[in-house]
Amino acid sequence: EVQLLESGGGLVQPGGSLRLSCAASGFTFNSYAMSWVRQAPGKGLEWVSYITSSGGNTYYADSVKGRFTISRDNSKNTVYLHMNSLRDEDTAVYYCASYTRAFDYWGQGTLVTVSS
Amino acid sequence: DIVMTQTPLSSPVTLGQAASISCRSSQSLVNSDGNTYLSWLQQRPGQPPRLLIYKISNRFSGVPDRFSGSGAGTDFTLKISRVEAEDVGVYYCTQAKQFPITFGQGTRLEIK
């Protein structure tokens, strides 16, 4: 059974930093690209970042470029999202999702709240 | 960026009746490899999204056959042949032809 388990969310002040983790199991992690997608309270889905299966290529939404960094450790079956210079508008549930044909599998999400 | 526009934004449906959601992209989603990277997601209340359909019309593993996708180029449709209570939620189309990956605004399916 495929499982994606996000962690690392919480309350942070504007300008602060957080690192999200997503631990994967039940599939060949190093064969899948991975992505982060967020959802602000009561809003729709917003793609955040994407990393290829090897980690060699990464992509970001303009709204987070220069502030967020996606990475992965294939030996630990884990993908990360390092978030710096957080803003109020980054408040959202952050989902990790595997990607082959599309966003195949999703985690349950972790809530990030940016507030003073 | 490719803009994805869904209609309607809300769809009240009678149980057992059909439902249809449209998605239009601001440019063709046909990739240079010949594939069209248009997919549909379902998000039930309080749940993460779930993949229903990929590459226009391919049902993902475990998705009931009452869900079907069609379309080409810039116009796509998700159809539910006989709506069941468990189908309540928000449906999103999404394109992955190019970065940034973009989503439609979402269509809320509710039971009359």
What tens digit of pLDDT does each residue of A87-107 get? 999 999 999 999 998 999 999
Average pLDDT of the segment spanning B12-24: 97
A contacts of B92 (beta carbons < 8 Å): 44-45
* Contacts (Cβ under 8 Å, ≥6 apart) of A106: A4, A37, A95, A96, A97, B48, B49, B50, B51
User: What is the mean predicted confidence (pLDDT) over A3-18?
Assistant: 98
Query: Contact A75/A55 with Cβ under 8 angstroms?
Result: no
Contact call for B39 and A47, based on CB within 8 A: no
- Chain B touched by A59 (CB under 8 Å): yes
Residue A27 touches chain B, beta carbons under 8 Å: no
Per-residue pLDDT, A101: 86
Res. B1: pLDDT tops 90: yes
CA distance B50 to chain A (A): 7
Chain B residues lying within 8 Å of A44, measured CB to CB: 90, 92, 103-106
Answer whether A45 touches B (CB < 8 Å).
yes
The helix/strand/coil state of A62 is: coil
Closest CA to B5 of B105, B89, B100: B105
**Contact (CB<8Å) B51/A108:** no
CB-closest option in A50, A102, A105 to B54:
A102
Residue B94 confidence (pLDDT)? 98
Average pLDDT over residues B78-105: 97
% of chain A surpassing 90 pLDDT: 99
Cross-chain residue pair B49–A61, CB shorter than 8 Å: no
Q: Given CA atoms B70, B76, B81, B85 in this order, what sign does their dihedral have?
A: positive
* Region B46-72 average pLDDT: 97
Rg for chain B, CA atoms, rounded: 13
pLDDT tens-digit map of A22-79: 999 999 999 999 999 999 999 999 999 999 999 999 999 999 999 999 999 999 999 9
CA distance B21 to chain A (A): 16
Given a cut of 90, whether residue B8 has pLDDT beyond it is: yes
| CB atoms B105 and A104 under 8 Å | no
The long-range contacts involving A113-116, CB below 8 angstroms and separated by at least 24 positions, are: A113/A9, A113/A10, A113/A11, A113/A12, A114/A12, A114/A13, A114/A14, A114/A16, A114/A86, A114/A87, A114/A88, A114/A89, A114/A90, A115/A11, A115/A13, A115/A14, A115/A88, A115/A91, A116/A13, A116/A14
- Point out the residue among B54, B103, B106 whose CB comes nearest to the CB of A47: B103
Q: Assess contact for A98 and A4: CB atoms under 8 A.
A: yes
Give the residue on A whose Cα is nearest the Cα of B51: A104
Residue B52 has pLDDT above 90, yes or no: yes
Residue pair B77/B70 in contact (Cβ under 8 Å)? The answer is yes
Instruction: Centre a 10 Å sphere on the Cβ of residue A10 and count the other Cβ atoms it contains.
Output: 12
Nearest CB to A101: which of B43, B55, B90?
B55
Q: Is A86 helix (H, G, I), strand (E, B) or coil?
A: coil
How far apart are the C-alpha atoms of A101 and A105, rounded to whole Å?
A: 11
Is pLDDT above 90 for B35? yes
Q: What is the mean pLDDT of chain B?
A: 97
Closest to B80 measured CA to CA, from B5, B4, B13, B26: B13
